[in-house]
Amino acid sequence: MNIGAKFYLTITILLIVTLGFGQSNGEKNSEIAKFLDSLSQDDFSGTILVAHKDKIIEKRAYGFSSIEYDVKNKIDTKFNIASITKTFTATAALNLYEEGKIDLESPIGKYLPYYPNKTVRDSVTVHQLLTHTSGLNNFYVADLDKIKNSDYNEISDFVPLFVNDTLLSKTRYEILL
């Protein structure tokens, strides 16, 4: 078991045990703080937030955001989490589908009527975006050497990286057009 898995297992067990045995909030907080005090950058590198209901109990940063430049993590360090966001996006989109707010088979132009790339707007569906079958290229691969994190503060800042790309393959809607 790797260190990350051990850490999450330990935190989970700690929280279950402390909540399960009816300790007071002060005792729970003390146990959590004691555990977090015992961690070192060799055990974990990242940030931790422990909350109960609407109250933050502990928040801490460990290790380095850049080992190469000796930059320590801070509570507000932004992490490049890359593809893990795909799961969250798909879950959110499917929740909207269940609520009847989106149609998975409609072209994205239904929801982004001013999207500048007409071919994509009129032929790529939400379903295709979620299943990576739209024919859109992976802009990170093509332009990795041009991407500087400091240039991208808003989601819309990424659009010029891919908005004019052609589709790698035709979608079924594009074939019908």
Which residues are part of the catalytic machinery?
Answer: 83
Q: Which residue has the tokens 């990350």?
A: 4
Number of C-alpha atoms within 13 angstroms, CB side, residue 88?
5
Rg of the chain taking only CA atoms, in angstroms: 22
Which token pair is 56?
């933050």
Cα–Cα distance between 87 and 126 in angstroms, integer?
Answer: 14
Contacts of range 78-83, beta carbons closer than 8 Å, 24 or more positions apart: 79/46, 80/149
